[in-house]
Amino acid sequence: MKYQPVIGLEVHVQLKTNTKIFCGCSTQFGASPNSQTCPVCLGLPGALPVLNKKVVEYAIKAGLATNCAISPRSIFARKNYFYPDLPKGYQISQYELPICVGGHLDIDGEWGTKRIGITRIHMEEDAGKLVHSDIPGLGGGSGVDLNRACTPLLEIVSEPDIRTADEAVAYLKKLHQIVVYLGICDGNMEEGSFRCDANVSVMPVGSDKFGTRTETKNVNSFRFVKQAIEHEIERQIELIEDGGKVIQETRLFDPNTGETRSMRGKEEAHDYRYFPDPDLVPLVISNDWVEDTRLSLPELPEAKFARYQSDLGLTPYDAEVLTATRELAEYFESCLTAGAQPKMAANWAMGEVTRGLNDAGLSISDCPVTPLQLVELLQLIEKGTVSGKIAKTVFDELWQNGGTAAKIVEEKGLVQVSDTGEIEKIIDEIMAANMGQVEEYRGGKDKVFGFFVGQVMRASKGKANPAVVNELLVKKLKG
Amino acid sequence: MELYELTIHEMNELLKARKVSSVEAVQSCLARIEATDTRVNAFITITGDEALKAAAAADQQIAAGNIHSLTGVPLALKDIFVTKGIRTTCASKMLDNYIPPYDSTSWLKLKDCGAVMLGKLNQDEFAMGSSCENSAYGPTRNPWNSECIPGGSSGGSAAAVAAQQAIATLGTDTGGSIRQPASHCGCVGLKPTYGRVSRYGVIAYASSLDQVGPVTRDVTDAAIMLGTVAGHDPLDSTSVAMPVPDYTRSLLSDVKGMKIALPKEYFIDGLDPDVQKAMDAAIETYRKLGAEIVEITLPHTDYAVACYYLIATAEASSNLARYEGVRFGHRAAEAKNLLEMFMKSRAEGFGAEVKRRIMLGTYALSSGYYDAYYLKAQKVRTLIMQDFLKAFEGVDVILTPVAPTPAFKIGEKTSDPLQMYLSDIFTIPVNLAGTCGISVPAGISQSGLPIGLQLIGRPFGEETIIRAAYAFEQATEWQKQKAKL
């Protein structure tokens, strides 16, 4: 029998606010345990939550960028369960009335363009974490670090519209790109700022009834998501083929084996006893707030991708590479603003600049060559002052020591020679010294032409204008 | 006259005139506590040394000419208000060793005025009870009759005022927990409108119902206390950003033309005859003062107690989940694993009534029962709220008894929780509606126990009920009756 997988994703996005969702504590990553806590995030008796407005603003942004409707009234609920890293014994989340509903994203790939529905986006607080190790003073026991408790999260829940692991990854990458573009998430998957739970089930092809699903928790890289989903599809099909039954359970992905495994020994019935949190009043969002936020949104990758092709005449490939991150796109656009030709700026941004950053392990925000410096260099190429080849030398110099392109060209004497008299003189000398080759060429051996070009360029220290060299060489060699 | 017998405004006069010092006032109260509290058991923690230090500081403040109505006045707080560096137990074994690292907003506001705290008062554990018998520190006794309960859950707050141990106290009222003990102890108890006073730092029982309020010797003191603790708190999202009026300006004995309503559902057959008599007399007093008495109906009153016990327990089951022995409070010894640690700590730390309510609430919220219980109760709550709002379209104040009977005997109702739950039958609707109510002394039963009168106002109508209560107080002698200890 043929099987059809059905996949839905729940993505947790940690928001890049300075303070936590319900108190004023810092959200900085990596501080010493429990140094960023207060009565509210510690869940001490008597403490009360107060909503961070920035979190709401970020949630509205995420909603607008994913084509959701923003609810004029939404409600925080308590999700009750016991765990030592959950200080209050409940997590404040949204349940029945979330802030964003009914959106979608279009993903492109070998399948063409496909629309993935977004059921909802809601705001919630994170829990703390347990530390199991030989911490001094703990006597070999476990410790609770509540620095992360109460940090703001968005949970973005997709419809079960995804059918393959590749679609899942395309959807995730798109979502990741959007939240990073919006500046609401640092996108750091290793630190868990962007992580995903994958709901996977399989059903016979042609069936309209979904199979029993499993939920694989907290997968934190695109590669792992692909592996986890593929493994889960395979496992479920094998199980059914062998006459078994998929049980609804929570599973973990093990990056070492590339497999998923059951997180809990037996099926566990959870009753979270959700109810509206009486400590927080209903969240009312005015239309003005939504519209102001809409105006503050940056141009999103999809729109940029389209514009780069239609307005700037770039190829789909170039447009995709340049819009991959907001920073690269901004670098590129700064070059245009400074007067560069789009295609040339694109080539350099994708070529020398990206290469240099990769080699140095830098991010584009730390690029030593500014758009202004680069554009000056590009203009020297356009004017014919330097060749493309020499320009790369100049670029390296800019990268290493700074300065301006014009100054480097002048100081190092790198100005391109287009003077026919000067070039002719060099050609004559080289022909005189290599009469054998001249004869060969004249005897019909065209390949020797390259030898002469090389000799002339070497003699001119690369400064001779290649176009002029070619033209004169042909004339002279043919006699 | 001893200093501990004074009201806030009387003491303020003496302090202002420099006839007495705050240190003398505090010493007087501490001596009174020492002399009486073995019989009353109003205090869980007495902070004598800190109080004397604070009194000395208040005296300096007064000497510098900087005096507020409460500067130097010895007060005490229900042990539900967290106090920085001072043990706060909520009358539970669970928090026996708990020392909070921060202050509740209400206490901070009092402290900022220079008020002095004598200590922390007994109560029903986590404010769950109507008699002040459910405390890990033993029951508080009614100063009027030590065989009787003082009422709950702010029983310590009312008993300390009635026993003249503290000049005034703060309590909390979730279903009548200020008004009912104030009534049983012959004090004035005020439950403000929900959102009028910050709940920050008040250990939560039922968040949508809890409200902070004063227990005092007279209406004037209630106005002073409310004016001090009321107001918006950025740390409590449910506190309302409305200006705080000067409530002492409502202290007028004039109620001419005021429309006072009697809800027929509150004057039922079977009401204790002494209570009925006191109500009749009070109505007559208001008539003489020129108020217009009308009858109204609050049709959903019958459902209030059931509705309250679903909503309050549901919220409590969640609010009390944090007591599991991980970060603070009681932790069971020798648990073999995590789950056992949670379960044992809670089994050992909580008393029977708290456990009963956690179980009720957990059940009411659980899947499959949520719609039938919690959601239905919320709908009933809306109807009760609407009853009141509709009534207030035509009247200024609603007059009812505070409790169906005067204080009952200790142990009399402990074996029958449902009987106990009915003690708050006349106060609970006010909490569900989120509006305000005040309890004022209105009589003495044949057995010599105080009887209170409840005046209910529209939301944020504290000025009106204070005015009506003050007029009554001025026209009668009940407030002058004291417990003989």
pLDDT at res. A469:
83
The SS3 assignment for A302 reads: helix
Between chain A and chain B, how many beta carbons pairs sit less than 8 Å apart? 96
Residue A355 identity: R
The model's confidence at residue A266, banded by pLDDT at 50, 70 and 90, is very low
Inspect the interface and report whether the beta carbons of B367 and A271 lie closer than 8 Å.
yes
Reported confidence tier of residue A263, pLDDT bands at 50, 70, 90: confident
Nearest chain A residue (CA) to B83: A46
Q: Chain B closest CA to A234's CA: distance in Å?
A: 34
Residues of B in contact with A39 (CB under 8 A): 100-102
Region B344-359: mean pLDDT is: 98
A326 vs A286, A312, A315, A329, CA distance in Å?
Answer: 29, 17, 18, 5
Pick A112 or B422 by higher pLDDT: A112
Distance CA A313, CA A476 (A): 40
Q: Does any domain span residue B272?
A: no
Please check whether residue B171 is in contact with residue B158, taking contact to mean a CB–CB distance below 8 angstroms.
yes
B59: domain CATH number is: 3.90.1300.10
A139, amino acid identity: G
pTM for this structure? 0.91
Contact A281 B238 (CB under 8 A): yes
Percentage of residues of chain A with pLDDT beyond 90: 72
Average pLDDT over residues B424-429: 96
Which residue does chain A place closest to B364, by CA atoms?
A: A273
pLDDT over threshold 90, residue A449: no
Residue B169 CA to residue B225 CA, distance in Å, equals 9
The set of catalytic residues of B is 78, 153, 177
Q: Which residue of B has its CA nearest to A22?
A: B235
Residue B336, both tokens: 């073999």
- Encode burial over B9-39: b for 16+ CB neighbours within 10 A, e otherwise: bbbbebbeeeebbbbbbbbbbbebbeebbee
Which residues in chain B are closer than 8 Å to A49, comparing Cβ atoms? 237
Q: Looking at the complex, does the CB of residue A87 fall below 8 Å from at least one CB of chain B? A: yes
Average pLDDT score, chain B? 97
A42 to B327: CB separation less than 8 angstroms, yes or no = yes
**Mean pLDDT value across residues A447-453:** 85
What does the pLDDT read at residue A138?
A: 66
Is it the case that residue B49 has pLDDT exceeding 70?
yes
pLDDT of residue A383: 83
Instruction: Supply B287's token pair.
Output: 């008539």
Question: Using an 8 Å Cβ cutoff, are A44 and A170 in contact?
Answer: no
Rounded-to-integer distance, Cα A171 and Cα A187, Å: 15
CB < 8 Å to A82, chain B: 321, 324, 342
Pair A253, A219: CB distance under 8 Å: yes
Q: In this model, does residue A261 exceed pLDDT 60?
A: yes
pLDDT higher than threshold 90 for residue B11: yes
Do B235 and A50 lie within an 8 Å CB cutoff?
Answer: yes
Nearest CA-CA distance, residue B139 and chain A, Å: 23
CB count within 10 Å of CB B56 equals: 16
> Of the candidates B200, B366, B370, which has its C-beta nearest A46's C-beta?
B200
Task: Tell me the average pLDDT of chain A.
Answer: 92
B contact set with A (CB within 8 A): 81-82, 88, 90, 95, 98, 100-102, 104, 199-204, 206-208, 234-238, 314-315, 317-318, 320-322, 324, 326-328, 338, 342, 362, 365-367, 370, 374
Choose the closest CB to B207 out of A39, A87, A279: A279
Whether residue B82 and residue A88 make contact (CB cut-off 8 A), yes or no, is no
Let me know if residue B342 belongs to a domain.
no
Q: Do A275 and B318 touch (CB under 8 A)?
A: yes
Q: Measured between alpha carbons, how far is B62 from B452 in angstroms, rounded to an integer?
A: 36
Give the distance, in angstroms, between the CA of residue B245 and the centroid of all CA atoms in the same chain: 21
List of residues 6+ apart from A52 with CB closer than 8 A: A17, A19, A20, A21, A22, A152
User: Is the residue at B397 inside a domain?
Assistant: no
Distance from the A6 Cα atom to the nearest Cα atom in chain B, whole angstroms: 27
Residue B469 CA to residue B472 CA, distance in Å, equals 5
Per-residue confidence (pLDDT) for residue A135, from 0 to 100:
67
> Is pLDDT of B184 > 50?
yes
Confidence tier at B298 by pLDDT (50, 70, 90): very high
- Give the pLDDT confidence of A13-61 residue by residue, as tens digits: 999 999 999 999 999 988 999 999 999 999 999 999 999 999 999 999 9
pLDDT per residue as tens digits for the range B131-149? 999 999 999 999 999 999 9
Q: What integer pLDDT is reported at residue B36 of this predicted model?
A: 98
By Cβ distance, the residue of A43, A48, A271 closest to B322 is A43
B355, β-bridge pairs: none
Domain containing residue B177: 3-253
Please state the domain count of chain B.
1
- Dig out the tokens for A76 from the structure: 């925080």
A269 band by pLDDT with thresholds 50, 70 and 90: low
A 23-52: CB under 8 A from B: 39, 42-51
For residue A92, CA distances in Å to A123, A313, B323 come to 9, 49, 17
Q: Name the residue facing A46 among B203, B320, B342 (closest C-beta).
A: B203
Gap between the Cα atoms of B135 and B357, Å rounded: 15
Amino acid at B450: P
Answer yes or no: is pLDDT of B444 > 50: yes
Q: Is A479 helix (H, G, I), strand (E, B) or coil?
A: coil
User: Is B390 inside a domain boundary?
Assistant: no
Would you say residue A479 has pLDDT above 80? no
Q: Quick one: CATH architecture of A420-477?
A: Orthogonal Bundle (1.10)
CB contact under 8 A, A278 and B236: no
A131 interfacial to chain B (CB closer than 8 Å)? no
Residue B277's alpha-carbon distances to A245, B259, B284, B452, B469, in angstroms, are 73, 21, 11, 12, 18
With an 8 Å Cβ cutoff, are A43 and B327 in contact?
yes
User: Is B205 within a domain?
Assistant: yes
Chain B hits for A44, CB-CB cut-off 8 Å, are: 82, 100-102, 328
pLDDT category at A8 given cuts 50, 70, 90 is: very high
Q: Determine, yes or no, domain membership for B471.
A: no
Contacts of A48 in chain B (CB under 8 A): 199-200, 235-238
Chain A residues close to B328, C-beta within 8 Å: 44
Query: CB–CB of B318 and A46 under 8 A?
Result: no
Chain segment B81-126, per-residue pLDDT in tens: 999 999 999 999 999 999 999 999 999 999 999 999 999 999 999 9
Half-sphere exposure of B331 (CA within 13 A, CB side): 13
Contacts B87 to A, Cβ<8 Å: none
Residue of chain A nearest B240, judged by CA positions: A281
pLDDT of residue B174: 98
Q: Could you report the per-residue pLDDT of B373-383, keeping only the tens digit for each?
A: 999 999 999 99
- A320 vs A140: which has the higher pLDDT: A320
d(CA B107, CA B456): 26
